[in-house]
Amino acid sequence: MNSHELDHLPTDMMCRRTPLDLCGRFLFLGTTVRISTNCASVLLAAKEAGFVPLRGTEQEPEMKWEIVGTLSSAAPVEDWECNETLDDHTLYLSMGPEQWFAFDLETHEGAGFVVVSIPDRPGAPNVGLYLLAVAYNVGARLQTEFKKELLI
């Protein structure tokens, strides 16, 4: 490919995403979050992780997350840990080679992938652990950012 051909390619890889057909609105740490996904297990696990479902509200959510469930026929991951990487604007959580979540601290948008063995099963253990890790780490980082703003 020539350099002039590269000039016409999109630079924002996110514009190539496919819209996710399932969506839930929740209250999380006093703010509204919209979780879009392709997997019902993600929305069910959000409730189990302490996200409070909201109904009948059309207000724009303060946070927007997209979480894609990837099917795996392998045994569910039982012994994984969540590694956090942080820079000035982004929180990145890695939970193994196929699971991660990235959160923009300025826009409050997040995106990630989670391994799902049975897509529509309530109580999918790996999905629940994933969302608990996301909730804990994002919540802790938002509280830290809020405290910094109070000191300014």
DSSP 13: G
The answer to whether residue 125 is domain-embedded is yes
The answer to whether residue 135 is domain-embedded is yes
As to burial, measured by CB atoms within 10 angstroms (0-12 exposed, 13-18 middle, 19+ buried), residue 135 is middle
Banded pLDDT at 70 (limits 50, 70, 90): confident
The answer to whether residue 5 is domain-embedded is no
Q: Pick the more confident residue, 44 or 78.
A: 44
Is-contact 90 105, C-beta < 8 A? yes
The answer to whether residue 4 is domain-embedded is no
What is the mean predicted confidence (pLDDT) over 125-136?
90
Domain that holds residue 111: 13-151
Coil vs helix vs strand at 44: helix
Is the pLDDT score of 146 beyond 50? yes
Maximum mean pLDDT: which of 5-9, 121-125, 128-132:
128-132
Q: Is the dihedral of CA 92, 104, 18, 133 positive or negative?
A: positive
The answer to whether residue 2 is domain-embedded is no
Please state the domain count of the chain: 1
Decide: pTM greater than 0.75: yes
pLDDT digits (tens, 9 = 90+) for 45-59: 998 888 999 987 777
The answer to whether residue 3 is domain-embedded is no
The answer to whether residue 30 is domain-embedded is yes
Q: What is the pLDDT of residue 88?
A: 84
Q: Which amino acid is at 9?
A: L
The answer to whether residue 8 is domain-embedded is no
